[in-house]
Each structure stands twice: as structure tokens, then as C-alpha cells.
């Protein structure tokens, strides 16, 4: 199985992105229909081996909620044109958590996917919400997707796909209390590899990070797949690594505010030894910090116990 790693959107400059990764999911197409000239420019600027996938416009998934009508037909046509401009073979449709797994929903989805089958694209559906993973609903979803030939996209830490084809498609949104605010540890990325490779019968697995640390996580995961080891989070450890994270913070700030803003980040205390920053911050005095030197002094004391 080939594992392709990328991000949902460009979190860094395109030149830096192209140097490190060879896959991206275009998310801007969810919010607006992009001009053809811009798409041609992106395709021309990218390396020849670089691959784009496309997220479908919200007209299809959120406005009309998978209903087949003139508007969704036109939106799908425009999405197909976007894919052609980018030489993209995969179109992702992500529905909201409010779209529940009812018989009506599945009927609408089946009709839309049957109509969209003529586009010549690999269609992927990310159905959000825990109810889709309940056994009865999951089986019904699996039957439908197998019938219409659509790949089920999931976050592999939350569940297994109901259906795959020659490809599997995964999107990772983080495991924190707040969606997207997350940085994956080395052990979690090791587990991610096991989860992906456990999916049988696929030629390629697409792994798209969609969390705030998506670029670094994608680069680290790609390096691990290629070399069997992880690069460091930064070129520093301990209190110096903490300073790299905190140097742009606006002070004064309370311990609670600091935890809310940066507690989701990972701190590498020493090579290969990582902790969520909120764990380290929990060890410092509960007060308002008025200077970076004051904060770093307390962090240095706290790190002695790690």
C-alpha cells in the first residue's frame, strides 16, 4: 500500500510546501468557486508529480444537504471542472454533523452519488457525527457506499471506514477538547501508521492532516514512513523549546489564558520525550505572568520534574 501524506489546504507558503509534501486537499473550493486561471496557475506552479484533491462546495453538502436538484447538479459540474483544471482525480464531499443517518438521508445520498458517477471522479464522503458509527447505521452506510462506489472518509482515530475502493481516504482533525487545536505525538503517529496499514485491499491511502499543527505533523509522519524515525519537533528542547512556542505571546496573561492559547502544543523535553504543554503549565503557579522571563523561570522549575 502506498501512503500519501498531505494537508487540508496550504498552511505554509506553496514553495515550502512543495519542497516537503507531494499532496494537498484544496479546501478553498468549499467556500467559493475558484477562477479557472487561478487553478491553471496552481497546477502549472506545482511539481509534475504533485497531486491535488478537491473538497466540494458547501452548496452540495450544507445548503442542499445532498438533495439532487438543478443547483447541486450545477455545483457538481463546476467541481468536476475544478478537478480537471488541477488534474485531480478525487472529490471529497463533507457533510455536517447535523445531517443524521436516516433513511431519507441515505436515499438522497444514493441518488446524488449515482448521478455524480458520470463525472469520472473518485468520490469520497466524510459523514460527520458519532451516530454514523452505530452498528445499524454503519451497516446501512456500508451497503449504500458499496452500491454507488463511493469511499468513506473517516478520522482513523475515531473509527474505521464503512467502505473503501482502490483507495482509502483519511482526514485528521485532532484529538483535543477543541476541534483542530492539536499536535500529534510520536506515539500517536506510530499508532496512525498501524491503523492505516490495517485497512485491507487498497492500493493507496490518502492521509490529510487538518489540525493547527498540520504541516509539521504531516512532515513528521511522512519522515517516519520513509525512515522509521521521527525528526525533532524543533531544533531545541526543554525551556528553549518552550520559548520557541511562547515568544510571540502577548503578556500579561494568566495561567488559565496561557493553557487555553498554547496548552494544545507539544513540548519536547528531551529527544523523543514529549508532553502536551498543558501538562507542563499545570505545574507552574496559578497567577498572571507579566513578562516572558518570569514565565520561563517558572517553566524551567516545572520541567525539572519531567
Q: Which pLDDT tens digit goes with each residue over 14-73?
A: 999 999 999 999 999 999 999 999 999 999 999 999 999 999 999 999 999 999 999 999
Edge-to-edge strand list for the sheet holding 51-55 = 151-153, 122-127, 90-95, 51-55, 23-26, 2-8, 204-209, 167-172
The whole-number pLDDT of residue 79 equals: 98
Whose cell is 496561557? That residue is: 258
Average pLDDT over residues 241-249: 92
Question: In this prediction, what percent of the chain has a pLDDT beyond 90?
Answer: 97
Residue 232 lies in a domain: no
177 pLDDT more than 90: no
Q: Which range marks the domain in which residue 263 is found? A: 238-303
Backbone angles phi, psi at 91, to 5 degrees: -120, 120
* Cα 271–chain centre separation: 26
Q: What is the CATH number of the domain that holds 76?
A: 3.20.20.410
Q: Are residues 216 and 276 in the same domain?
A: no
Residues 214 and 273 in one domain: no
Answer whether residue 272 shows pLDDT above 90.
Answer: no
- Local confidence band at 242 (pLDDT 50, 70, 90 cut-offs): very high
Number of domains in the chain: 2
Q: What is the pLDDT of residue 269?
A: 95
Q: With bands split at pLDDT 50, 70 and 90, how would you rate the model's confidence at 10?
A: very high
pTM of the model: 0.96
Give the angle subtended at the CA of 241 by the CAs of 185 and 214, to the nearest 5°.
Answer: 40
Final residue in a domain of this structure, among 227, 262, 289: 227
> Mean pLDDT for the chain?
96
* pLDDT over 70, % of the chain: 100
- Domain's final residue, options 227, 253, 277: 227
Amino acid at each position: 500500500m502506498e501512503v500519501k501524506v498531505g494537508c487540508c489546504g496550504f498552511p505554509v507558503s506553496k514553495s515550502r510546501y512543495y519542497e516537503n509534501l507531494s499532496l494537498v486537499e484544496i479546501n478553498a473550493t468549499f467556500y467559493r468557486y475558484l477562477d479557472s486561471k487561478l487553478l491553471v496557475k496552481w497546477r502549472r506552479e506545482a511539481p509534475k508529480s504533485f497531486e491535488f484533491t478537491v473538497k466540494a462546495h458547501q452548496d452540495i453538502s450544507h445548503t442542499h444537504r445532498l438533495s439532487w436538484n438543478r443547483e447541486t447538479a450545477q455545483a457538481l459540474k463546476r467541481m468536476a471542472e475544478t478537478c480537471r483544471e488541477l488534474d485531480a482525480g478525487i472529490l471529497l464531499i463533507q457533510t455536517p454533523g447535523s445531517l443524521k443517518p436516516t433513511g431519507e438521508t441515505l436515499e438522497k445520498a444514493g441518488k446524488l452519488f449515482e448521478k455524480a458517477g458520470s463525472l469520472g471522479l473518485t468520490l469520497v464522503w466524510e459523514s460527520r457525527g458519532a451516530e454514523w458509527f452505530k452498528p445499524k447505521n454503519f451497516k446501512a452506510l456500508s451497503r449504500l457506499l458499496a452500491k454507488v462506489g463511493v469511499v468513506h472518509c473517516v478520522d482513523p482515530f475515531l473509527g474505521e471506514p464503512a467502505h473503501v475502493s482502490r483507495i482509502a481516504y483519511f482526514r485528521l482533525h485532532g484529538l483535543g477538547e477543541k476541534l483542530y487545536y492539536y499536535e500529534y505525538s510520536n506515539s500517536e503517529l506510530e499508532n496512525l501508521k498501524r491503523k492505516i496499514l490495517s485497512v485491507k485491499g487498497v492500493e493507496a491511502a490518502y492521509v490529510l492532516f487538518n489540525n493547527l499543527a498540520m504541516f509539521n505533523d504531516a512532515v513528521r509522519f511522512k519522515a517516519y514512513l520513509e525512515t522509521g524515525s521521527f525528526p525533532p519537533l524543533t531544533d531545541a528542547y526543554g525551556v528553549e523549546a518552550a520559548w520557541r512556542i511562547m515568544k510571540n505571546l502577548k503578556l500579561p496573561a494568566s495561567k488559565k489564558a496561557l493553557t487555553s492559547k498554547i496548552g494544545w502544543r507539544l513540548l519536547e523535553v528531551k529527544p523523543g520525550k514529549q508532553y502536551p504543554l498543558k501538562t507542563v503549565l499545570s505545574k507552574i503557579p496559578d497567577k498572571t505572568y507579566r513578562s516572558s522571563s518570569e514565565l520561563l523561570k517558572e517553566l524551567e522549575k516545572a520541567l525539572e520534574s519531567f
